[in-house]
Chains A and B, each alone.
Chain A
Amino acid sequence: MSLIFEKLCKNLLLEHFGLIIQTVASDMFQHGPRTLNQMKVTTKHPISKIKESLCVLIKFGYVVYEQTDRGIVYTLDVEKVITILRYPRYMYFVKTFCGDEAEMMLEDVLKNGYERASQIIVKTYQRLEQFPPERRSTVPVLKEKFDLLVKNQFLMRSLCSNTLSDVPTDKPDFNMPSLNVKALTRLIQGNEVDAGDNNIYWKINNDRFTQDLRDQILVKSIAKRIDDNAGELMRQLLYLMYLRTASWADTSIPIPVTEIKEAMKKNFPSILPYLDQYLRIIEEDSSKFIERVGDSGGGQYSVNMKEAFHQLTWVVLENIVMERFGLKAARIFRLVHRHKYIEQEKIQQIAMIPAKEAKHLTYTLLEENYLQIQELKKPGLSTAPTKIFFLFHIDLNQVARMTIEHCYHALYNIIQRRDYEINSNKRMIDKQLRMQTLTSNMKEHGATEEQLAEIAEMMTPSEKLQLEKVQERIKKLGANEFSIDETLFILQMYIRYHR
């Protein structure tokens, strides 16, 4: 794991959990699995703080522990740390899929690492009480929404016992306890009651969200390439794949057309007259997301995830080359991709770029490691000297990994800069916060227009303007983090299927 990846994770931990936890995590980054005593020695924090930090990290699933003969050994799950970046995406996904209440419940779990269903429902209810009556929900409704979250596997049981390590078991558990609704109501009123789930905790099912984000990309791509109908069909195919295939299999078990027809009848009947045609179009497309694998049952199609992300990765990299080095460089890159191994002379011929420019671009791509070079010695005729060919080719794995590091670096930089922008304008930001709080308090207590205007004047117009600018900048930086993560996700998927 690279230095920049470590720095990025540390940044995320700092932002969300503070300095001490960051240092404790750092220790595990640098030294691997550690015991409590080892950490005491290296971090120089008081042991109470180390213990507290570990509690937090374990609760949120970033650290797992295991009893060994050395004592209890704590290990940092680095891949987990970086998913913090995606939490807003998870929340938004649940919002669109299951509704606002579900989103709030998910948020509660995210904010606590793991939590009991009863507590989640109670807290969500209390939170909704602050909203106008039409937006509030009853306890039974909330319980339903919670059930929905579990049914869709967005939440899973947090399984753990005192002596075993908190490693997700092979079979994720989604068993719902039977909650006593009445008890829930009493809990809300502040009574200490047993709702029936004393030791049953729920946590985020990261894997489910990763799959959903993955599927989203495929649907969007097909919709873009062909049309929305095809996109919808793709979505259905992915669902059918999910029903019959292991989540991370390279390809799906073949899906017979009859089944596809059934599904479309239910969900998207207007496509039926053209179903076969659309299937064929998606199949013929150079993206190779699906392939026809059999003829029985009216035809059998299989979704090819591995190939899909192979193709998508090429698109991503080609795009990056284009934006970094220009249209002609991208042309060369695609050329080398197509031909696998090709000489300089041929490149400039086929790409129709002047020799000098072609050479320059090729060299630049080589220098930046998007292209690799291979020497080939060809023994010529006895009288002719041995000719050495230089062939260009692309090692996709290498370029993909390099670009992942690039993403990490960019993320780190953007987060650093965002922190800097916030800190260097802290005074002004805090001032505005105070003004806001003051204003809302005053409003509640019935302040006059005059008084409110007075508060508003606490900040000069030029200050206000500057503040606005600063906030725009911070927003832009935040948005950029999401953008970079989009690219990172696709590349991570590629590596996952092509390790």
Chain B
Amino acid sequence: MDLNLEHADKQSSRESEQHDPITQKIINLAQLKPKGISDKDISIEMPDLQPIQKAQAINKLLAQGFFDLFKQGETLLYKLKDPSKARTAKGADNEEKIVYTIIEDAGNKGIWIRDIRFKSNLMPTQLNKILKSLETKKFIKAVKSVAASKKKVYMLYNLEPDRSVTGGAWYQDQDFEAEFVDVLNQQCYRFLEQKRDSTKDYLNGPIAEKNATFASSKEVWKFISDLGISKVKLSIEDLEMILNTLIYDGKVEKMISSDGSNFYRAIRPLLDSSGLVKSPCGICPVRKNCCDFGDVTPIKCQYITEWLDL
């Protein structure tokens, strides 16, 4: 990638020194008409110019930053840029390089525009222009990140965005696949639960029995893969994320074996459901308003009535 840019760079610098007759002529014409020249003007001036040559020349001048493009009604006008500005444009190439390097360093995780700004110390408008330019040239691309829905990260054009950006297996077009995750959660639990319940290894003592209820993440992964419920290929790490949620559901516990791999097993809760939530007052959403007066009282309570009538 680097090489291309340098090559492009060299080319433009070479041409700016040489100004071939065609471009020189066009420049001269533009100088005479500071308000801008049109295609037609160029054709009148240089009747022998082939359209292709004309186009190439104009493009070159535009790319090199000599011309600005304007539209007047239906006509396109090319205006000569201020030479001082032309110089800045050249400087801008260096800045493009800086930006490019910053983005390159971010690798496949990409980098927020804000961070590019801090690192490069460029003004926002300028930076935006550079980014647009690099994008047009297909050196970089913007990728929507799942971490923050409205923000984009920039990365080099050819890179495969990292999972943290795309969301990996759990995202389809930036949408979190909640149902898919829930199904996996249930299936993993079912597997572990069955493993626990089918183990009756009393003969070797309770510890052996307990150990038999553990399953490695690989085992779980194999089970899920065999189920074939996932269109996307899931990795073991993916499954471990799901198993983690089961831990936070209070249904599963984890053990790390001596070789560093993870084992999981289904566990029984310490307590039966709390007595409080067997009561309508336990789950009442309007309890803050409940007292002996007014609409919400234990005597008038609709929830209690419904519950009593069950």
Do any beta carbons of A and B sit within 8 angstroms of each other in the complex? yes
Report chain A residues within 8 Å CB of B76. Answer: none
Within 8 A of A (CB), among B56-85: none
B181 contacts A487, C-beta separation under 8 Å: no
Encoded as 1 (CB less than 8 Å from any B CB) or 0, chain A from 431 to 455 comes to: 0000000000000000000000000
Known A224-B270, A229-B206, A413-B290; judge A320-B245 contact (CB<8 A).
no
Is A327 engaged at the interface, CB distance under 8 Å to the other chain?
yes
Within 8 A of B (CB), among A454-498: 473, 476-477, 480, 482-488, 490
Known A225-B270, A324-B283, A480-B279; judge A281-B210 contact (CB<8 A).
yes
How many A residues face the partner with a CB closer than 8 A? 65
A315 contacts B281, C-beta separation under 8 Å: no
Is B123 engaged at the interface, CB distance under 8 Å to the other chain?
no
Is B256 engaged at the interface, CB distance under 8 Å to the other chain?
no
Is A331 engaged at the interface, CB distance under 8 Å to the other chain?
yes
Encoded as 1 (CB less than 8 Å from any B CB) or 0, chain A from 354 to 368 comes to: 110100000000000
Question: B248's contact among A334, A414, A417, by CB below 8 Å, is which?
Answer: A334
Question: A414's contact among B147, B210, B281, by CB below 8 Å, is which?
Answer: B281
Is B253 engaged at the interface, CB distance under 8 Å to the other chain?
yes
Known A412-B298, A413-B304, A476-B308; judge A330-B270 contact (CB<8 A).
no
A483 contacts B276, C-beta separation under 8 Å: yes
Is A384 engaged at the interface, CB distance under 8 Å to the other chain?
yes
Known A334-B248, A351-B245, A477-B308; judge A224-B275 contact (CB<8 A).
no
Is B173 engaged at the interface, CB distance under 8 Å to the other chain?
no
Known A273-B205, A354-B176, A417-B301; judge A483-B275 contact (CB<8 A).
yes
B283 contacts A323, C-beta separation under 8 Å: yes
B275 contacts A345, C-beta separation under 8 Å: no
Report chain A residues within 8 Å CB of B283. Answer: 323-324
B207 contacts A277, C-beta separation under 8 Å: yes
Is B8 engaged at the interface, CB distance under 8 Å to the other chain?
no
A409 contacts B206, C-beta separation under 8 Å: no
Is A352 engaged at the interface, CB distance under 8 Å to the other chain?
yes
Is B287 engaged at the interface, CB distance under 8 Å to the other chain?
yes
B299 contacts A416, C-beta separation under 8 Å: yes
A486 contacts B301, C-beta separation under 8 Å: no
How far apart sit A316 and B273, CA to CA, in the bound complex (Å)?
Answer: 8
Is A115 engaged at the interface, CB distance under 8 Å to the other chain?
no
A316 contacts B299, C-beta separation under 8 Å: no
B276 contacts A352, C-beta separation under 8 Å: no
A214 to chain B, nearest CB (A): 14
Is A319 engaged at the interface, CB distance under 8 Å to the other chain?
yes
Known A274-B205, A406-B276; judge A315-B270 contact (CB<8 A).
yes
B272: nearest chain-A partner, CB-CB:
A224
Is B249 engaged at the interface, CB distance under 8 Å to the other chain?
yes
Within 8 A of B (CB), among A207-229: 221, 224-227, 229
B245 contacts A352, C-beta separation under 8 Å: yes
Is B228 engaged at the interface, CB distance under 8 Å to the other chain?
no
Within 8 A of A (CB), among B265-310: 267-279, 281-283, 287, 290, 292, 298-299, 301, 304, 307-308
A174 to chain B, nearest CB (A): 33
A414 contacts B298, C-beta separation under 8 Å: yes
Report chain B residues within 8 Å CB of A273. Answer: 205
B253 contacts A286, C-beta separation under 8 Å: yes
A484 to chain B, nearest CB (A): 5
B270 contacts A323, C-beta separation under 8 Å: no
Known A410-B276, A414-B279; judge A277-B205 contact (CB<8 A).
yes
Report chain A residues within 8 Å CB of B244. Answer: 350
B248 contacts A484, C-beta separation under 8 Å: no
Is B170 engaged at the interface, CB distance under 8 Å to the other chain?
yes
B266 to chain A, nearest CB (A): 12
B271 contacts A351, C-beta separation under 8 Å: no
Is A204 engaged at the interface, CB distance under 8 Å to the other chain?
no
A226 contacts B206, C-beta separation under 8 Å: yes
Is A420 engaged at the interface, CB distance under 8 Å to the other chain?
yes
Question: B207's contact among A281, A384, A413, A490, by CB below 8 Å, is which?
Answer: A281
A406 contacts B248, C-beta separation under 8 Å: no
A345 contacts B147, C-beta separation under 8 Å: yes
A472 to chain B, nearest CB (A): 8
Is A265 engaged at the interface, CB distance under 8 Å to the other chain?
no
How far apart sit A324 and B248, CA to CA, in the bound complex (Å)?
Answer: 17
How far apart sit A277 and B267, CA to CA, in the bound complex (Å)?
Answer: 18
B245: nearest chain-A partner, CB-CB:
A352
Question: A338's contact among B178, B248, B267, B275, by CB below 8 Å, is which?
Answer: B248
A487 contacts B276, C-beta separation under 8 Å: yes
B287 contacts A406, C-beta separation under 8 Å: yes
Encoded as 1 (CB less than 8 Å from any A CB) or 0, chain B from 169 to 184 comes to: 0100000101001000
How far apart sit A133 and B101, CA to CA, in the bound complex (Å)?
Answer: 101
B298 contacts A413, C-beta separation under 8 Å: yes
How far apart sit A417 and B301, CA to CA, in the bound complex (Å)?
Answer: 9
B274 contacts A383, C-beta separation under 8 Å: no
Report chain B residues within 8 Å CB of A373. Answer: none
Is B55 engaged at the interface, CB distance under 8 Å to the other chain?
no
B226 to chain A, nearest CB (A): 22
Report chain A residues within 8 Å CB of B270. Answer: 221, 224-225, 287, 311-312, 315
A484 contacts B276, C-beta separation under 8 Å: yes
Question: A323's contact among B185, B249, B282, B301, by CB below 8 Å, is which?
Answer: B282
Is A49 engaged at the interface, CB distance under 8 Å to the other chain?
no
Most chain A CB neighbours (cut-off 10 Å) among B244, B281, B299: B281
Known A226-B206, A229-B206, A331-B245; judge A417-B276 contact (CB<8 A).
no
A410 contacts B282, C-beta separation under 8 Å: yes
How far apart sit A480 and B277, CA to CA, in the bound complex (Å)?
Answer: 10
Known A318-B250, A320-B277, A480-B279; judge A225-B267 contact (CB<8 A).
yes
Report chain B residues within 8 Å CB of A41. Answer: none
Report chain B residues within 8 Å CB of A376. Answer: none
Within 8 A of B (CB), among A303-325: 311-312, 315-316, 318-320, 323-324
Within 8 A of A (CB), among B117-151: 118, 147, 149
How far apart sit A225 and B196, CA to CA, in the bound complex (Å)?
Answer: 12
B279 contacts A483, C-beta separation under 8 Å: yes
Report chain B residues within 8 Å CB of A345. Answer: 147
Report chain A residues within 8 Å CB of B250. Answer: 315, 318, 330, 334
Is B242 engaged at the interface, CB distance under 8 Å to the other chain?
yes
Report chain B residues within 8 Å CB of A480. Answer: 278-279
Report chain A residues within 8 Å CB of B178. Answer: 352-354, 357
How far apart sit A478 and B292, CA to CA, in the bound complex (Å)?
Answer: 20
Report chain B residues within 8 Å CB of A230. Answer: 206
Q: Could you give 11 example pairs across A and B, Cβ below 8 Å?
A: A226-B206, A319-B273, A330-B249, A334-B248, A352-B185, A406-B281, A414-B304, A416-B292, A420-B299, A487-B274, A487-B276
In the A-B complex, list the 6 residue pairs whose CB atoms are closest, starting with the nearest.
A483-B275, A410-B281, A413-B298, A486-B275, A323-B277, A487-B276
Beyond the given A312-B270, A477-B308, could you list 12 further A-B residue pairs with CB under 8 A, ordered by the A residue number? A225-B268, A226-B206, A315-B269, A330-B250, A345-B147, A384-B118, A403-B276, A410-B279, A413-B301, A414-B281, A417-B298, A486-B275
Binding site for A on B (CB under 8 A): 118, 147, 149, 170, 176, 178, 181, 185, 205-207, 210, 241-242, 244-245, 248-250, 253, 267-279, 281-283, 287, 290, 292, 298-299, 301, 304, 307-308
